[in-house]
Amino acid sequence: MIDIHSHILWNLDDGARDFDESIQMLRLAADSGTSDIVATPHANLCYAFDTGAVNERIQRLSGKIDSIRIHYGCDFHFYADNINDALANPSRYTINGRRYLLVEFSDLLILQNTGEVFDEMLAAQMVPVITHPERNPLLYLRTADLAAWAARGVCLQVTAQSLLGRFGSDARDFAHELIERGLVAFLASDAHDCTDRPPRLDLGYRYLAQRYAERIARALCIENPRAVLTGDPLPMPPAPVKSNRRWWFW
Ligand SMILES: [Fe+2]
C-alpha cells in the first residue's frame, strides 16, 4: 500500500517528536503493509514549512527500514500566503515535486473563492487533494461543492481511521457518503504517532474490501496513490459504489 499523508518526520510539527519515534512509525507502517509513505509536515501558521529540513530528515531516515520508501510532501493549509507561494513555487509543496498537492481547509471558514483558486492551481498543472473532508463539519452541507470541484479534477482523500470511527460517527458517515457518491480517490493515514494516530492503512484497506469491494480498496490504497508519487493521472478514477449488502449482517 502507498500512504500519501503522514507526519513521520521528527520535530517539524505535531507528528513524531524525535528520530526514534520516526523510526518506530516507519517500522509500524512497513509491518502493516505500506511500501511507500509520503512525509507531509504541516505548512500552517503554527509550523513553518522548511524544505531543507524536510529533505534532510527524509535522507537520514531513508534505508533505515529496508521495506519502505519515503517520499517528499507537505500538509498544505489553504490560506492566502500559502496559496500565493504554491502558485509561484508549485514543486515546493507538491508530492515528490510532481503534480499532486495536499490541501487542508480551515475548520473555521472555507474561502469564498476556493473554486477559483482550485481552477488556478489546475491551470498551473497542480492537482489539489482535499485532505480528510469528512473531518471538517463546514463541508457536511457542501457536498455539491465537493462534487463540483471533483468534477473539475480536484481529488479527495479520506483518513483511514475515520472509516473505523476514530473521529466520531459524523466523520465516519460522511466518509462513507463521499465514497458511495464516487468522490474519494485516496485513503491515507495522516499518522502522527504509533498509538493514537498510527501509520496503518491495513485496517482501512480490509474495511473497504469487505464493505465495498477489493477493487475499491486497491484503488484508494494502492493504484491511485501510486500515480500521486509519479504525478500521473489516476488509473482508477472514483465512481459511485454501493455498500456490500452482506456487510450489514456481519
Ligand atoms: Fe495531516
User: How far is the centre of ligand 1, averaged over its atoms, from the C-alpha of 71 (Å)?
Assistant: 15
3-class DSSP state for residue 217?
A: helix
134 CA distance to ligand 1 centroid (A)? 13
- The C-alpha cell at 89 is 513555487
pLDDT tens readout for residues 95-143: 999 999 999 999 999 999 999 999 999 999 999 999 999 999 999 999 9
d(CA 7, ligand 1 centre) in Å? 7
246 C-alpha vs ligand 1 centroid, how far in Å?
A: 33
What separation in Å is there between the alpha carbon of 195 and the centre of ligand 1?
A: 16
CA of 113 to the centre of ligand 1 (A): 23
Q: Give, for 203, the enclosing helix (H) or strand (E).
A: helix 202-211
Average pLDDT over residues 10-23: 98
CA of 112 to the centre of ligand 1 (A): 23
At 31, which amino acid appears? D
Whole-number Å distance, alpha carbon 245 to ligand 1 midpoint, is 33
Domain covering 2-249 assigned CATH 3.20.20.140 in the classification: yes
- C-alpha of residue 104 to centroid of ligand 1, in Å: 8
How many A from CA of 180 to the centre of ligand 1? 23
Residues 20-53 pLDDT 10s: 999 999 999 999 999 999 999 999 999 999 999 9
pLDDT tens profile 134-155? 999 999 999 999 999 999 999 9
Report pLDDT digits (tens) over 62-82: 999 999 999 999 999 999 999
3-state secondary structure the chain: CEECCECCCCCCCCCCCCHHHHHHHHHHHHHCCCCEEEECCEECCCCCCCHHHHHHHHHHHCCCCCCCEEEECCEEECCHHHHHHHHHCHHHHCHHHCCEEEEECCCCCCCCCHHHHHHHHHHCCCEEEEECHHHCHHHCCCHHHHHHHHHCCCEEEEEHHHHCCCCCHHHHHHHHHHHHCCCCCEEECCECCCCCCCCCCHHHHHHHHHHCCHHHHHHHHHHHHHHHHHCCCCCCCCCCCCCCHHHHHC
Indicate if the pLDDT at residue 247 is higher than 70.
Answer: no
CA–CA gap between residue 146 and residue 167 (Å, rounded): 20
- How remote is the CA of residue 5 from the centroid of ligand 1, in Å? 6
| Euclidean distance between CA atoms 236 and 219, whole angstroms | 6
Task: Please give the model's pTM, rounded to 2 decimal places.
Answer: 0.96
CB count in 10 Å sphere of residue 224: 26
Q: How high is the mean pLDDT of the chain?
A: 96
Q: What are the structural domain ranges in the chain?
A: 2-249
Backbone angles phi, psi at 28, to 5 degrees: -65, -40
Q: What does the pLDDT read at residue 198?
A: 98
